[in-house]
Amino acid sequence: MDLIEGNDFIMDIRRPNDSELEKIILLSPQALFDGTLGEVSSTIDKVRSLIEPLLKKGSYYLIAIEEGKLMGWILIGASRDQFTDKTNGFIYELFVLEEFRGNGVSKQLMKTAIDELRQHGYSEVRLSAYAGNQAIKLYEKMGFNIRAVSMSLPL
């Protein structure tokens, strides 16, 4: 799909094959834990129950690979706005393995995903992130704006 040259690497961004998809699913509990800042601990079975319905509805992963090594992934698809009923492109998950962080992998995955969603005809891309997640800085640099705020009150 996309061959991207970085400082010390050449990264390929493409859809995963079956064994790469299985590796993503095995690593997804860690991605969920990191993305929720340690608030959500999950099992492989729980991850499958969240991801499989998305994949069946047409969502898909894009992976970043360097010399056969999985660097990270992004899960993209569609989501319907609960108020307007409009369908938007949606980024469900973005994760880069710790050893590859700080090298622009997230940014390249985001750029490729946004381009794909644009090509699928979406006029808007949305995502959700936990407050305090470091990725929010990247999202804002890429032009995302805060649209809604979810709040909680521990009891």
Give the whole-angstrom CA distance, residue 61 versus residue 37.
22
* Exposure letters 5-30 (e unless 16+ CB within 10 A, then b): eeeebebebeebeeebbeebbebbbe
Beta-sheet strand order (sheet of 60-66)? 2-5, 10-14, 60-66, 69-80, 87-96, 125-127
Query: What's the confidence (pLDDT) of residue 5?
Result: 54
* Tens of pLDDT, residues 35-53: 665 666 778 888 888 889 9
Query: What's the confidence (pLDDT) of residue 32?
Result: 77
Residue 63 predicted with pLDDT over 70: yes
Query: What's the confidence (pLDDT) of residue 38?
Result: 62
Looking at every residue in the chain, the average pLDDT score rounds to 88
* Tens of pLDDT, residues 18-34: 999 999 998 988 787 77
* Tens of pLDDT, residues 98-137: 999 999 999 999 999 999 999 999 999 999 888 888 889 9
Q: What is the pTM of this model?
A: 0.87
Torsions phi, psi for 80 (to 5 deg): -95, 130
Domain coordinates in residue numbering, the chain: 2-141
CATH 3.40.640.10 for the 2-141 domain, yes or no: no
pLDDT band for 9, please (50, 70, 90 cuts). Answer: low
Residue 6 predicted with pLDDT over 80: no
Residue 74 predicted with pLDDT over 80: yes
Residue 148 predicted with pLDDT over 60: yes
* Tens of pLDDT, residues 78-103: 999 888 899 999 999 999 999 999 99
